Structure 1
Amino acid sequence: MRIALFSDVYKPVTNGVVHHVAMLKHYLETWGEQVWLFVPGSSQQPDDEPNVIRIPGIPIADTGYHLSIAVDHRSRELLQQMDVIHVHHPFVSGSFGLFFSNRYNIPLVFTNHTRYDLYVKQYLPLLPSALSETALQAYFQIFSQRCAALIAPSESMAEVMRGWGVEGRIVVIPNGIDLDRFENPTCQVNRSQLGIPEDAVVAIYVGRMSGEKSVDRLLRLYRYLVQEEQESHLLLVGSGPELDDYRALAQKLGITDRVTFTGAVPYDEIPCYLKLSDFFVSASVTEVHPLSFIEAAACRLPALGIRSPGVNDLIRNGETGFIAEDNDLSFGLRFLTLVRDGDLRRRMGEAAYAFSRGLSAHNNARRVLQLYQELQ
Structure 2
Amino acid sequence: MTSARPTIAYLTGQYPKVSHTFIQREIEGLRALGWTIEACTVRRPNPKDVVGPAQEAEQARTFAILSAAKKPATLIGAQVAALRHDPKRWWKAVKLAWKTRPPGLKAGLWQAFYFLEAAVLASHLRAKGVVHLHNHFVDGSCTVAMLTSEMTGIPYSFTMHGPTEFFSAHWWHIGEKVARASFVAAISHFCRSQLMYFSPAAAWDHIRIVHCGVTPALYGPHQPTPAPVVTFVGRLDAVKGTPLLIEAFARVAGAHPQARLSVIGDGPERAACTARVAELGIGDRVTFHGYRNSDEVADMLRQSDMLVLPSFAEGVPVVLMEAMASEIPVIASQVAGVGELVENGVSGFTIPAGDLDTLAARIDTLLSDPDLRARMGAAGRAKVEADFDLAKEVAWLDRILGGSLAGGLPAGLRPEAGDRPHG
TM tier, smaller: 0.7 to 0.9
User: For the structure 1 residues 30 and 184, does the alpha-carbon distance in structure 2 shift closer, same or farther, using more than 3 Å as the test?
Assistant: farther
Per-residue deviation, residues 84-110 of structure 1 (Å, max 9, x unmatched): 211102222212211111122222211
CA 1:117–1:74: 2 relative to 1, 3 Å: closer
1:180-195 equivalent positions in 2, closer than 5 A: 180-183=217-220
Distance, in Å, in 1 between the alignment partners of 2:336 and 2:120 is 41
Q: For residue 247 of structure 1, what is the aligned residue in structure 2?
A: 274
CA distance in 1, matches of 2:313, 2:365: 25
Alignment check: 8 A CA contact 1:3 1:34 kept: yes
AA partner of residue 23 (structure 2): V
The C-alpha deviation readout for 1:154-203, integer Å capped at 9, x for no partner, is 11222233344475332111111122222479xxxx99xxxxxx532211
8 Å Cα contact 1:302-1:345 kept in structure 2: yes
Residue matched to 2:83: none
Q: 1:142 corresponds to which residue?
A: 176
Quick one: distance in 2 between partners of 1:56 and 1:325? 42
What is the TM-score when the length of structure 2 is the normalising length? 0.74
Q: Which residue does 1:160 correspond to in 2? A: 194
Q: Identity, % of aligned pairs?
A: 22
Distance 2:220 2:393 in 1: 18
Q: CA 1:263/1:96 → structure 2, altered by over 3 Å: closer, same or farther?
A: same
For residues 88 and 279 of structure 1, do their structure 2 counterparts lie closer, same or farther at Cα, with a shift above 3 Å needed? same
What whole-Å deviation, never above 9, does each CA across 1:295-349 have from its counterpart, x for those lacking one? 0111101111121123212211111111123322222222111010011101111
Distance (whole Å) between structure 1 residues aligned to residue 234 and residue 46 of structure 2: 27
Q: Which residue of 1 aligns with 2:57?
A: 48
* Number of residue pairs aligned between Structure 1 and Structure 2: 342
| Letter matched to residue 150 of structure 1 | V
Give me the whole-angstrom Cα distance separating, in 2, the residues matched to 1:95 and 1:14.
23
- Which stretch shows the higher mean deviation, 355-364 or 44-53? 44-53
Are residues 370 and 303 of structure 1, via their aligned partners in 2, closer, same or farther at CA, if it must alter by over 3 Å? same
CA distance, structure 2, for counterparts of residue 324 and residue 173 of structure 1: 25
Matches within 5 A, 1:104-253: 104-116=152-164, 133=168, 135-136=170-171, 139-165=173-199, 167=201, 168=203, 169-183=206-220, 199-253=226-280
Is 1:33 matched up with 2:35?
yes
Give the one of 312, 325, 347 matched to 1:285.
312
Instruction: Encode CA deviations 1:14-44: one digit per residue, 9 max, x unaligned.
Output: 11xx212211221222222111011023599
Aligned-pair CA distance for 1:365 = 1.4
With over 3 angstroms needed to count, the CA separation of the structure-2 counterparts of 1:174 and 1:259, relative to structure 1, is same
After TM superposition, give the deviation of residue 142 of structure 1 in Å: 2.1
The 5 Å alignment of 1:256-295 reads: 256-295=283-322
Alpha-carbon contact 2:331-2:362 (below 8 Å) kept = yes
Q: Secondary structure at the match of 1:3?
A: strand
Q: Residue deviations 1:221-243, cap 9 Å, x none?
A: 22223244434221111122222
Alpha-carbon RMSD: 2.9
**Structure with bigger gyration radius:** 2
Following TM superposition, by how much is the alpha carbon of 1:73 offset from its aligned partner in structure 2, in angstroms?
7.3
Name the TM-score, length of structure 1 as normaliser: 0.82
CA deviation string 1:127-177 (max 9, x = no partner)? xxxxxx4744x7212222221221111112222333444753321111111
Q: Secondary structure at the match of 1:289?
A: coil
Query: Cα gap change, 1:176/1:282 in structure 2, threshold over 3 Å: closer, same or farther?
Result: same
Query: Are 2:389 and 1:360 equivalent residues in the alignment?
Result: yes
3-state SS of paired residue (2:162)? coil
Supply the AA of the counterpart residue of 2:141.
Answer: S
Which residue, 122, 125, 131 being the options, matches 1:76? 122
Residues 1:156 and 1:43: Cα distance change in structure 2 (over 3 Å): closer
Bigger drift between 288-297 and 103-112 goes to 103-112
- Cα distance change, pair 332–265 in 1 and its aligned pair in 2 (3 A): same
Any residues of structure 2 matched to 1:12-23 within 5 Å, and which? Answer: 13-15=17-19, 18-23=20-25
Aligned 8 A contact 1:297 1:353 in 2: yes
The one-letter amino acid paired with 1:245 is: A
Aligned to 2:345: 318
2: CA distance, partners of 1:84 / 1:72: 14
SS of the residue corresponding to residue 235 of structure 1 reads strand
2:360 to 332, 346, 366: 332
Q: Is the 8 A contact 2:346 2:376 kept in 1?
A: yes
Residues 1:72 and 1:43: Cα distance change in structure 2 (over 3 Å): farther
Name 1:309's counterpart in structure 2: 336
Pick one of 136, 147, 170 that aligns with 1:99: 147
Secondary structure of the 2:359 match is: helix
Question: Which residue in 1 is equivalent to 2:12?
Answer: 7
Q: Which residue of 2 aligns with 1:129?
A: none
Q: 2: distance between equivalents of 1:43 and 1:293?
A: 24
Greater percentage in helix: 2
Q: Structure 1: which amino acid aligns with 2:57?
A: D
The structure-2 alpha-carbon separation of the partners of 1:86 and 1:19, relative to structure 1 and needing over 3 Å to count, comes to same
Ranges in structure 2 where 5+ consecutive residues have no aligned partner: 1-5, 48-54, 71-109, 406-423
Shift of 1:373: 1.4
Aligned partner of 1:375 among 384, 390, 404: 404
- The gaps in structure 1 that reach 5 residues or longer are 60-66, 121-132, 192-197
Conserved in 2, the CA contact under 8 Å of 1:286 and 1:310?
Answer: no
User: Of the candidates 372, 376, 391, which is equivalent to residue 348 of structure 1?
Assistant: 376
Shift of the 109–353 alpha-carbon distance from structure 1 to 2, 3 Å rule, reads same
The answer on whether the counterparts of 2:162 and 2:191 sit within 8 Å (CA) in structure 1 is no
